Amino acid sequence: MASLGYYRLAAVIPHIRVADVPGNTKLLIDGAHDAAAQGAHAVLFPELSLTGYTCGDLFFRPSLQKAALAGLRELAAATAELSCVLITTIPLVVREGLYNVAAVLQGGKLLGLVPKSVLPNYREFYERRQFRPAAELSASSVQMEGFGEVPLGTDLLFEDGEGFTFGVEICEDLWAVLPPSSRLALLGARVIFNPCASTEMAGKAHYRRQLVAQQSGTCLCAYVLASAGVGESSQDVVYSGHALIADNGHIVAESARFSRSMTLTCADVDVERLGAARMSESSYNENRLPQEWRGVRRVRLEPLPAECDLRFARLPKHPFLPPPAQVAERCEDILNIQAAGLAKRMEHSGARCLVLGVSGGLDSSLALLVCSRACEMLGLSPSCIRAVTMPGFGTTGRTHDNAVRMAQLLGVSFSEVDIREVCKLEFSMLGFDPSQRTTTYENVQARARTQLLMNLANMHGGLVVGTGDLSEIALGWSTYNGDHMSMYAVNCSIPKTLIRCLIAHVARNSSPELADVLLDIIDTPVSPELLPPADDGTMEQKTEEVLGPYDLHDFFLYHFIKYGASPQKLLALARHAWGNDYDPAVIESTLRTFLSRFYAQQFKRSCIPDGPKVGTISLSPRGDWRMPSDASPTSEQ
């Protein structure tokens, strides 16, 4: 297997000349060597790139057909020392019929031939004039000079035995109602290659991107398309040389169009991750192929390059955050989902008010904003929100003042209850020495706050809104039956890094006064504020100094839950994504903390309150994550 399950996929668009097979062959040879020098595992060329796609009736010429076969043999011989796979297409005569077939080469051998299934025959395309579709083939193999007996058919899958399995469809196949790639994906292809010759028209590139991205998402696969370039005939249409590489619904690499020189586009795709996603996605597993579609022939590849340095990998540091262009829309979606869930719970329970503790920290601030939006949805006054700040032994002036100011600006009902005296009384009842700063010292405060909120909700017929986030739930960074508990938890599937993003979005759309408060909340270090502040009144207890950076925890959580990444892979991915920001020792120690706490704290997740799922990851024991509370982490070591 390539490094960490990643494979480097490449699309090469050469600047060909129509019907100049010898010249085009040299261009493909150069492109193959260039891609191999970049560490590519598989290289795709456009449709009929040895001859040119726009040869028209010249495809009937025996001289062109023979030249194409000679060019294919030359390409194979000139790349025999390369271990990467090459994919191009040629016109091939089989039993008196001419077919447009993809040729899969590796190490000088022709491993298989895949015919085009859907032939365009409209407007600018008249492919049925020269070629016949795959359905008319009666042969399952063909004898070829220089290659011997070669498998032929649309039922071919190529695999390295380590998870890299791919299939091929050709251009118009993708535009079909039932693309061959759908069948190939259900048979196990994790990568689809499409040698293509798609004409350029105004707006078509956008549609092509959407189509490739959508098919890769539908099939839970990587999809590589290489479309013919500007060297093709411009007699009636123009070709732009568009290369696209998609990974499970996202375009991860794209070439410039209309280039007058060869382009090489690469992406590092985690094929192992695609396999893990397929095991957990019911949309993939619930599909059933008709009996006549289940036949498949598997062609074993020679060993591929072992290394992949991930320099072409799409590996965001913050995987939970939306792309910059989608931040506003995505944040609005999330806030509306949270608020709609809370509004429904208010309606169902008949709650007359919402009760929540506000600390001036990230989580409670987001929860308060969600409460405000839920009341707007229901046409209720913000005064039906009862926000309570409960200073304890670690409360600082900065967080306290931000909580007070935010409540005032939102117009909610606000009260302050100092919990220190009741905690001292409980210390006395327990016989506990408060000079000992143990978990007892901290948890007495946390439970005192939750008890007060619950009783306040009883008094006013209200609903206690939980503020804990997904990162804290994953790490168990909460007090059991303290801040761990509520009547509805609006932040339960939102990680810490995303909470900052959501609050920043609200700040951008708020009054200057509220924006100033929200931005200061974002800049405040994360802390439960359960230990006394420093002598100068500043925060002494900082969560990330204990647990490690939430940047890393959220990164680990995403890849651990969504794709089942091993500890070794998590470490390598984090070093690649975060190596310039965090010392390797910090990354490693944070990973150890994440794994040990994730396993040890499941008992808290097993009884968390209801709350809305807003993204693809949730740790609800009733939905997305089922795990015994006493599971051993041995397998992760």
Catalytic residues: 47, 116, 171
Per DSSP bridges, beta strands 109-115 and 141-144 are unpaired
The answer for residues whose C-beta is within 8 angstroms of residue 331's C-beta and 6 or more apart is 322, 501, 502, 505, 506
Angle (CA) 593 318 636, round 5°: 30
DSSP 188: T
Nearest to 131 by CA among 53, 195, 218, 40: 53
Cβ atoms of 184 and 192 closer than 8 Å: yes
Q: How far is CA 554 from the centre of its chain?
A: 13
**362-378 helix and 496-508 helix, angle to the nearest 10 degrees:** 60
Cβ atoms of 368 and 335 closer than 8 Å: no
Distance (Å, whole) CA 85 – CA 34: 13
End-to-end CA gap in the chain: 21
Q: Which two tokens stand for residue 7?
A: 């494979």
Q: How far is CA 308 from the centre of its chain?
A: 19
Put the strands of the sheet holding 413-416 in their side by side order: 413-416, 385-389, 353-357, 462-466, 488-489
Q: Which two tokens stand for residue 3?
A: 């490094």
Nearest to 90 by CA among 40, 131, 137, 51: 51
Cβ atoms of 510 and 518 closer than 8 Å: yes
Cβ atoms of 257 and 299 closer than 8 Å: no
**Matching residue, tokens 């957990």:** 280
CA 437 to each of CA 394, 472, 481, 541: distance values in angstroms, whole numbers, following the listed order = 11, 21, 20, 11
